[in-house]
Every structure is written in structure tokens, then in C-alpha cells.
Structure 1
Amino acid sequence: MSNAPFGGGNPPVTPVALVTGGDSGIGRAVAVKLAEQGMDVGVTWHRDLAGAEKTAREVREKGHRCAVAQLDLADLPGGVDVIGALADELGRVDVLVNCAGTGTSTRLLDLEHSTVQQVLDVDLIGPFLCSQNVARRMIAQGTGGRIVNITSVHEHQPRVGAAPYCAAKGGLGLLTQVMALELAEYGITANSVAPGEIATPMTDQEDTDVAKVDRPGIPLGRPGDAREVAAVVAFLAGPESSYTTGASWVVDGGMLRMGPQAASHLTSDSWRRP
């Protein structure tokens, strides 16, 4: 992409992207991909400072600046101030990718309120507040921008044992559509990316060669690589997606298309347990 903000600029400036949860997995892949596309990058981390520093090194190896900050999305609303601080450090913000997330593997009847609240804060309320903070800055800059929310296939379909996660991701998907409507007049687009099974630390598959993993229930026969998700995010974060907003981009190897087949080919009741 060109080194210019989405609304132009004289003289041209290097665009800045902020990526939450950029210390590993999809977040790291997104940060590095956006640097390859010509952006300076700010990344947040929750517990893995070493991981965030590794991401920063990879971004800098691409020839771009990288700022790093700790962000706990369960500490709301104050924690979101970190997003503004990163934008200030890097001088502007043109892209926000809400990637940080958490989940559960607990049946509905066994869930505690505190667990539900934490998942909703991290996966829904946090991205809402981060987007609000960044959108206000983008409007003040007057050059438009991009917001990309990482949801999940569970934005669209439920999963046993993941009630708060599904509720949050479904909510984030619809929130993205409202954002697309309300922010369009400012040249800001909002889209969601809904990954299926991706080889990341969250799925206990860090550094896994996805070509060597057998997944018969996924049409493409394997999990996804985080870089395959990052490629879709990069398109939505760049100038070539200027007429694309309010959509959910599924990256799942065909998983969501398997509903009727899964129903007819299951051979036990094991799906009833997380």
C-alpha cells in the first residue's frame, strides 16, 4: 500500500495500525502483515511481554516502527486509555484490529457470573470501547480509517460449552454492522473477520505445521494458519477495501458449510460435552 493515510495527506505520512492481542497467534501475524503493507504498528499484550517484544522485532525487521503496551481488557473502562497512549506515541491511528480475546469451556449450568462478565468484557465491551476511542481520533484526523474486529465462526454458529464466548462474538459481529453504518460518513469502514480453527496458542497448536494435521470434519482437511487470517485482515485494513464495510469475512476452511453433513455423520453423543 502507499505511505499515505486513507483520506490522502500532504505531505504523505506513514499509516499507523493498532493491534490488540498482538503478542502471539493471529495478532502477531496481523501486526507483521500490516508492517509488510507499509504501516507502523502498535501492539498490546496482556500476560506475554516476551511475545509482544518478539512481535515488535518482526515488525521492525520490516522497516517500520512498533510500540508495545500492556492492556487488560477486563480492567474497564480505564484500561482502554492504553489505546490512546499508543496512538499518541506513534503520532496518529488509521487502523484498529481488535484481536485480543478469551473464552471458556464450561457448560451453561455451571458458569459463574464472574466468568461470564470477564468474557463479555474482553470479547465485546473492550472492543467496543477501543473502537469508540479510535473512531473519535480518526474523525479528528479527517482522513478516514479502518476497524477490523476478530470474531469467530461462533459469531454465526453456537458451540457447546462456549455460551459467553458465543454471546460476545455474536454481539461483536452485530456491533460491527452498527459501527459500519454510523461511521461511514467519516470514511471509516468496519468489518469483522471470523476464523475457524486456527493453529495458535489459544488452540494449543503454537508453531504447528497445519499441513500435517488431519481434520476430516473441515472440507479443506486441516486447521488454518494465522497468516491466512492475517491476509484477509490486511485487505480489510488497506485502501483497496474502501467500498467494503459491514461484512463478516469467514476464514474457516469451509467449516460452517458442514452443518447438515456433521448432523448426519456424527456417531456418538460426545458432542454434548465441551
Structure 2
Amino acid sequence: MESLAFVTGASSGIGRQTALSLARSGHQVIVGYGHNKEAAENTVAEIREQYGTRAEAEQIQMDRPEQVADTARHIMDRHGAISVLVNNAGVNRRKAFVEENLDAWNHVLSVDLTSPFLLAQTVTKTMIEAGLAGRIVNVTSVHERIPITGGSSYCVAKAGLGMLTQSMALELGEFGITVNAVAPGETATPMNSTDPNYTASTTGRPALPVARPGDPREVGELITYLCSASASYITGQTFVIDGGLELIAADANVRSVKIP
């Protein structure tokens, strides 16, 4: 049976490149999108044209967690059991902690944590029933591990998704299902407001050891590896792909010190 992969947030950025990479590796792909149907269908068309594999666009609104499980079941009714799930869809937010409000807090946690939990739970049940040695990858963030000013809701959601990854891996290994997280640093994507005229290689980030942001294709390739048979002994891990962002904190502190 051919592997069917479902990637959320696959109409742009990391999700789109992951969908393309999985198709290139031989997976059939469901391109999940929230509101940008046209972009999702463009991704589907590119997959079909370039790789000749089955691809379909399906809407799943992660900002409506009460609908996620039913939507996932309807998608599987139409397309069959999913053996690879990439929980990529997410929202970013910057707001001072003392100014954050409950509605915004709940929105970020719904999209970035609660809905991925519900989607993974629903898909996993079908994996187990079908006897599939599934692969689940949750896309977190480097801010799963390090905070950023104004990022209380975002950092908490991504940290929660990272711990959920470990909890899932602990319980699902007996069924042959692996669960890992990929934690990108700054990546040249629309969510990070990257100027469409610039690419990762032409955008300078002199503070980073590699001196540039990440390319979403690089993240997609890492995710694809974790979804492969070669990664069958890897589970419960977070893989940081950040160009060395985590390494610079001490140097930033040293540069801030003025020695008399």
C-alpha cells in the first residue's frame, strides 16, 4: 500500500516545501490548508506535474479545534488511512506579556497546540486500527526551547507541542508509530514576514553563525527524512534546525558588556 501523507499548512512556506519533498520521495500527499485554497491547489498541481503522484487539497481549519477531529475523519473517509502526519500549521504572535489578552492567547494555543493534538489523536487511532507503522512530525520552533520577547503565547504553545511529542512517542512506540518534532529557527517564510523579493541565501543575518535565515526546503527535507523508513529507530526527539541561533546567547551578552 502506498504511503499517504497529510501535511497541514501546506499552501506556503515550510508546509508547502514539505509536501513537495514528501511527493518527491514517493508519498501520496494531502495538502492541508486553512483559508488559502488557491495556493493549496497550486501546490497540488505542482506535485502532480513534477512527480506524477496523487495529491489532493483539503481544508482543515486549525483555528476551530471543535471541528478538527470530524474534519480529519471526513478526509480519511475520502482518501484512506493516513500513514504520515506533519502537524505544520501554526500562527505566530508578538505581544508584551503584560498586554496579552485571553482571546489572543486562546487563539494561539488553539492553532499551535490544541488542534495539532486533536488531529494527531484522530489520525493515530486510524493508524493503529489499520496496523500502520506511522510517522508523525510536529513542527514546533526553536522557541520551544528558548523564549523571545513578546512571545509568551507562542513559546508556551510550541513548548507544549514539544512535550506532547515526547508523550505521544512514549505511548505509541508499541504500535510501530514514531513521533518527532522539528524546531526551526528563523526561516524565510510568509509567516515570518519575509520579503518575497528575497530568499534565504540573499537575506543577511550577521548574528547567526551561518549568517542567513533557513530555507523552507531545508526544513522540509529534514521532516521527510524523519518520515522515512531510515528513521524507524528515532522517536520522541526534537531536531533543531536554526543555523546556530541557540549558540549566540553568550556572545550577545559578552558584546553588551562595556569593560572600563
With the shorter chain as reference, the TM-score category is over 0.9
Task: Report the number of matched residues.
Answer: 256
Partner of 2:127: 138
Structure 1 position 82 matched with structure 2 position 57: no
Identity of aligned residues (%): 42
Mean alpha-carbon deviation: is it higher for 166-175 or for 49-58?
49-58
Report the Cα distance in structure 1 between the residues aligned to 2:73 and 2:28, rounded to whole angstroms.
15
How far does residue 87 in structure 1 lie from its aligned partner after superposition? 2.3
Q: 2:108 aligns with which of 93, 110, 119?
A: 119
Report the Cα distance in structure 2 between the residues aligned to 1:244 and 1:197, rounded to whole angstroms.
25
Partner of 2:214: 224
Give the residue type in structure 2 aligned to 1:151: T
Report the Cα distance in structure 2 between the residues aligned to 1:80 and 1:228, rounded to whole angstroms.
30
List structure 1 runs of 4+ shifted beyond 3 angstroms: none
Compute the RMSD of aligned alpha carbons. 1.4
How far does residue 89 in structure 1 lie from its aligned partner after superposition? 2.2
The 8 Å contact of residues 113 and 161 in structure 2, kept in 1 or not, is answered as: yes
List runs of 5+ in structure 1 lacking aligned partners: 1-12, 269-274
What are the superposed Cα offsets for residues 100-147 of structure 1, whole Å, 9 maximum, x if unpaired? 000211101111100000000000001100110011010011021000
Partner of 2:20: 32
Structure 1 position 147 matched with structure 2 position 136: yes
Structure 1 position 64 matched with structure 2 position 53: yes
Partner of 2:168: 179
Structure 1 position 158 matched with structure 2 position 147: yes
How far does residue 83 in structure 1 lie from its aligned partner after superposition? 2.0
Partner of 1:20: 8
Give the residue type in structure 2 aligned to 1:139: I
The 8 Å contact of residues 21 and 221 in structure 2, kept in 1 or not, is answered as: yes
Report the Cα distance in structure 1 between the residues aligned to 2:60 and 2:185, rounded to whole angstroms.
25
Partner of 2:245: 255
The 8 Å contact of residues 68 and 118 in structure 2, kept in 1 or not, is answered as: no
TM-score by length of 2: 0.95
List runs of 5+ in structure 2 lacking aligned partners: none
Structure 1 position 208 matched with structure 2 position 194: no
Q: 2:93 aligns with which of 99, 104, 108?
A: 104
